[in-house]
Structure 1
Amino acid sequence: MATPPAAALRALRAQALDERALYFEHDPSTPASPRTERALLVRLHHASTRPAASAPPRVASSLSAFLHTPLQPADDADDAPRLAAWLARHWPPAPAPQISLQRFPATGRGLSSSASLAAGEAALAVPLRLLLTPERAVELPGMERALHAAAAALGAPVDADVRLALALLGQPRLEPRGAWGEYLPLLPAEPPNALMWQAAPVGQLAGTPLPAQVGALRRELRQLWTALVPHLCGGPHAPLPPHAFRWRRFLWAYAIVESRGVVLDGLSTARTTALVPVADMCNHTVRAQLAHPRLEGEPPHRALVLRCLSAVPAGAELQLYYGRLPCLHTLQFYGFVEAELLPFEAVRIDLELPDEEDDPPGGEEGAETASDVAARRRRVLSDLGLGLSHFLRDTGGVPSKLLASLRVCMLSDAELREVEARGATPSRDAFPFAPLNTENEASALHALTMILEAQVEAMVGGAAQQIAQEWEEEDAAWAAEDAAAEQAAAGAPLQEAHAQPAPDQIAWPEISPEDQAAQRNAINEAVASMRAFYLRCYTGALVHANSLMGELSALTDQQGLSESAPNGDGSPDEHAHHAEDTESYEDEHAAQKQRMS
């Protein structure tokens, strides 16, 4: 298959555009971002390959050029001997993986290839029996009964990711010398996931969706943990000993699932999150040479295989692409921001329709009329190809669609009826992409500046300190509750079922003060870059909005019109509101489930 002609390539790029690129009407004759270009090239690669055949030279060459990762010097990681010993003990003797655990200057601990690998060759094949899945939680004696009891108390089944975290916590008790019992020390003691962050970096992201989303998830997990404790740790036949199910240990296990889980097809259910030993040490880049892991082979040799999309020289880092996640999500789940992708990011702005309750006044009849007006306004927006969700980029400027939507939101009832009567005219030279009148334009620009000023204030004002303080107070309150509970239980005799293994027999992950400081430093730097990006988006748009306000003011002065604020009292509240740039936990959880798919 030859490289597609320009027209075909343009069509393929158009199909790969994401929501942000579509919003900004990106010309598909050029790549919209490294993410979409990777998706296109990998799609072409798979379409042009057949079993036992390699990609045609031109397709393979384009993909290889995109995926090229320069060799970088590396040192053996401190825990490289532990991984080698684990492989010798738990990995099949053949084929032995030709990998080593090293520490790279740019990415930290990661895997490197000990031998040169060709395109299509397997870099790693993880035996299926070594994968840890949610279903394995019930291998623990008493766990199935405890989960049923917990589900009855909660009124809903225990989430699959929570069951996977429980399976991980239960491995030392189930099989202390087993594969996962001995793999635990190789896991990070302090995952870079935002659930485990200190208060300061969370506060620094005030004005972004992250603090609200992560805070809500932590509280939900805390409530879940509180409900699970009596069923999982109470009684002589409980599946987990209390020391293995402390709050911080449960939070650690869930953060491991969020930051290292791989979403797979073809296991016991349609889509399953699994923990994959060794493969979970692959770092991320959009230019990763490894394809997404796939199950291959038949039992008992079935394995999760990571194949090379292009040739990998010996000594190069083996990297994996985690998926088309926005930079804020990679920061939340994995603690990093990929610098190459940040210029292609966009900040979401969600508008709300005007409050129509006072137009016209009245009880239930007025409320019904207000609902009708809101529905009409939505129809006008839809007919004009507009909506309430918009994006900002750090290149500055107010997107024309955002200002057009605000013009519709600012229409009086009479103006709305006039626009409806004229019918939709989605022309760049007509309303709402051009001003309707001076009053409507002033209202739209005033509302826009209020929205942007509020966002800037959230980022540079006292919100950061408040968020950090609430985070610390929450942690302190939970720690006090846990200490009181442990003190109350200190005099209780140790149940025989929980006597082995003792806490000091379990090799939980550890982190040195130096490594902890380095990791927290890296997170702080990533947070600073994300915060700066959001601030550039808001301030750039605000500067443009103020400039437009100045031009409008000058125009009205020339026309001899008196300058007045919208609504008479300077408040845009009865015309439009800004909804916080947050997604529901369900939406965020769904996005998280796609993190490596």
Structure 2
Amino acid sequence: MDSVRNMGNSEQEFSLLLTLSKEDPLYEKKRKLLDARGFDHDIRFFLSSSRATFKSFISAARIIEMDEAELYFAGVDVLQPVDFYSPTNELKSLNSLLSHIDFSLNSALSNKMEQLLRQLKGETMDVIRVYGDKNRDEAKIEICNCRAENLLLQWGKEHGLKTKLQIAHVEGAGRGAVAVEDLTIGDTVLEIPESIIISEEHVYVSEMFEILKRMDDISAETMLLLWSMKERHNPESKFKFYFDTLPKTFNTGLDFGVEALTALEGTLLFDEIIQAKEHLRSQYDTLCPLLCRDHPDVFQPEFYSWDQFLWACELWYSNSMKVIFTDGKLRTCLVPFAGLLNHSLCPHVLHYGRVTSSTKSLKFALSRPCRGGDQCYLSYGNFSSSHLITFYGFLPKGNNFYDVIPMEIDVPQADDSGNHDWTTHMVRGTWLSSNHEILNYGLPPTLLNYLRSALKDAEQPKDSNINIDNEREVLETLYSIFNPMMEGHGDPDNPHWESPSWDVKLALEYKDLERRIISSVLQSCLTGLEMLQLIESKHQ
């Protein structure tokens, strides 16, 4: 990170420097988009006007903070550039500016420079505060006085855990964590010592490790899974208070019954659940029966049934975190108490994956304010709703920008001119797009450009502004792909599901979401075809 530069005596020459790392796996695509938006390789922002600096910095930071899906849907439109990509991207971009400001304040060379930086910081924090208020959750919350959770908290504090959160019951979400007081950006709401994080190190000192280390191709994560299946039943376990707070069933998509799966037929979620369960069943059949047969004194059969294995898989899928320890190694872990924080599309905590070397603790700091009594949210990751249902057991509230439908396009290959950087294509709800005009239609520009190139007539002049025939063929091709999908999703008002069980209800909610996405794509195609017809009629 570069500090403020003073390039002369004029206050107008104080500047911030933002750079795109060449180590970024999406470097080429991000560089192309930055170039299209007019940003140099060294992106310098002058502090003479905090408002102009803010707008320019955030515009560039949004691109630098993008993930692959956000890049895909952004496209490269210089005339109508997108200025919002997702709630998480927006928070990361705003907090990136704050980080640059804080770093620069430590090396400010003059009072004037410090004044400009503090003004910009105040304005940035105000924007984050307003943005957070727009996304504030109004769920009904009751403080939890459950014995198991209180014992976990007491045990954690005895081992050095610090928190400004308390456990609560959240309507529609089960347990959660709420702020005990008004908290602001940068406040540490939870600090968990490295010593109580459950990682592979505990397997290495257990009796089962001597057996497991002789097995071929067994990962540390699989060892941990097998260890936790037994450890949860150990009354002398160091982590007894943690295991005591875990539910008997997680109610994820992996627990869906026959009726729920029947309701999901034809959806992405159906395929995801079936594939996941087949993988887990194969893994179980390869591991557990053999271990129980050959080492029954260590792998007791009553602890290693299929149901116990599935429970442990759900535990690790829904509660594990990737953490970098003080030795620099990335490990998959269970983090007591942190697992009680729920997921949000607009979270309070964005970054929590590295143990601080000075305190040997994992810190959870706020990226946006959290009022006292409000639920404090994490981001579990940029996941689709089908993934969140399968492995976590819930459908997130609000517009999930990662609810995409991948596409298999049966059209001739596009030319190799270098204009097409994507090998896979996708759509999402067109209501998420801010551009529904001609040539855009609310559809992904990356997809449209690919189809235009793949379907174009070689005789058509390349400098044509609107190729009516080409545009029509693009939209008709998309319609022909998604119309059968819509027909395959059946009637949304099936009276058979008047009093559905929890899994059927969740399945129907997801199917309705997928139906809405497909419907929006079809409507955008029809609206686009009407636009083209209107243009054509004007030129006749």
Which TM-score applies when normalising by structure 1? Answer: 0.65
Give the letter aligned to residue 23 of structure 1. Answer: G
Aligned: 1:163 with 2:197? no
Aligned: 1:62 with 2:107? no
Aligned to 1:77: 144
- SS for the counterpart of 1:435 is helix
Within the candidate set 56, 63, 77, 1:14 is matched to 63
Aligned to 2:321: 262
- Displacement of 1:451: 1.6
CA distance in 2, matches of 1:248, 1:526: 26
**1:58-80 deviation per Cα after TM superposition (whole angstroms, max 9, x unaligned):** 222222332343676522336x2
Which segment drifts farther, 336-345 or 183-192? 336-345
Question: How high is the sequence identity, in percent, across the aligned residues?
Answer: 16
Within the candidate set 315, 334, 338, 1:279 is matched to 338
Within the candidate set 337, 348, 353, 2:395 is matched to 337
Matches within 5 A, 1:41-190: 41-50=94-103, 56-68=121-133, 69=136, 73-77=140-144, 80-92=146-158, 97-105=163-171, 107-149=173-215, 151=216, 157-172=217-232, 175-190=234-249
- Displacement of 1:279: 0.6
- Displacement of 1:547: 5.7
Relative to structure 1, the CA distance from residue 292 to residue 347 in structure 2 (aligned partners, 3 Å threshold; closer, same or farther) is: same
CA distance in 2, matches of 1:71, 1:445: 40
**1:239-297 deviation per Cα after TM superposition (whole angstroms, max 9, x unaligned):** 32111111121122112211111122236664322111111000122333234225445
Aligned to 1:435: 469
Which segment drifts farther, 530-539 or 212-221? 530-539
Asked if the contact 2:143/2:169 (under 8 Å) is kept, the reply is: yes
- SS for the counterpart of 2:243 is helix
Matches within 5 A, 1:162-561: 162-172=222-232, 175-236=234-295, 239-266=298-325, 270-298=329-357, 302-342=360-400, 345-354=403-412, 377-379=414-416, 382-383=418-419, 389-395=425-431, 397=441, 399=443, 402=447, 405-406=450-451, 408-410=453-455, 425=462, 427=463, 429=465, 434-435=468-469, 447-460=477-490, 520=503, 523-524=506-507, 526-541=509-524, 543-544=526-527
CA distance in 2, matches of 1:386, 1:92: 52
Give the letter aligned to residue 391 of structure 1. Answer: V
- Displacement of 1:528: 4.4
CA distance in 1, matches of 2:354, 2:401: 35
Give the unaligned 5+ runs of structure 1: 152-156, 355-373, 465-515, 560-597
Relative to structure 1, the CA distance from residue 147 to residue 526 in structure 2 (aligned partners, 3 Å threshold; closer, same or farther) is: farther
Within the candidate set 68, 93, 109, 1:40 is matched to 93
Asked if the contact 2:176/2:375 (under 8 Å) is kept, the reply is: yes
Q: Which has the higher contact order (CA 8 A, sep 6+)?
A: 1
- Displacement of 1:349: 2.4
**1:451-474 deviation per Cα after TM superposition (whole angstroms, max 9, x unaligned):** 222222332289x9xxxxxxxxxx
CA distance in 2, matches of 1:239, 1:73: 46
CA distance in 1, matches of 2:455, 2:424: 13
Asked if the contact 1:347/1:537 (under 8 Å) is kept, the reply is: no
- Displacement of 1:224: 1.3
Aligned to 1:513: none
Relative to structure 1, the CA distance from residue 351 to residue 167 in structure 2 (aligned partners, 3 Å threshold; closer, same or farther) is: same
CA distance in 1, matches of 2:402, 2:295: 56
Asked if the contact 2:65/2:92 (under 8 Å) is kept, the reply is: yes
CA distance in 2, matches of 1:89, 1:214: 36
Q: Could you say which structure has the larger radius of gyration?
A: 1
- Displacement of 1:446: 5.6
Which segment drifts farther, 343-352 or 247-256? 343-352
CA distance in 1, matches of 2:338, 2:374: 15
Asked if the contact 1:10/1:28 (under 8 Å) is kept, the reply is: no
**1:276-321 deviation per Cα after TM superposition (whole angstroms, max 9, x unaligned):** 111100012233323422544558x521111233444432222212
Relative to structure 1, the CA distance from residue 48 to residue 333 in structure 2 (aligned partners, 3 Å threshold; closer, same or farther) is: farther
Aligned to 1:23: 75
Relative to structure 1, the CA distance from residue 14 to residue 292 in structure 2 (aligned partners, 3 Å threshold; closer, same or farther) is: closer
Asked if the contact 1:128/1:302 (under 8 Å) is kept, the reply is: yes
- SS for the counterpart of 1:126 is strand
CA distance in 1, matches of 2:510, 2:76: 26
Relative to structure 1, the CA distance from residue 222 to residue 270 in structure 2 (aligned partners, 3 Å threshold; closer, same or farther) is: same
**1:420-445 deviation per Cα after TM superposition (whole angstroms, max 9, x unaligned):** xx8xx4x5626xx5426xxx966x66
CA distance in 1, matches of 2:170, 2:160: 28
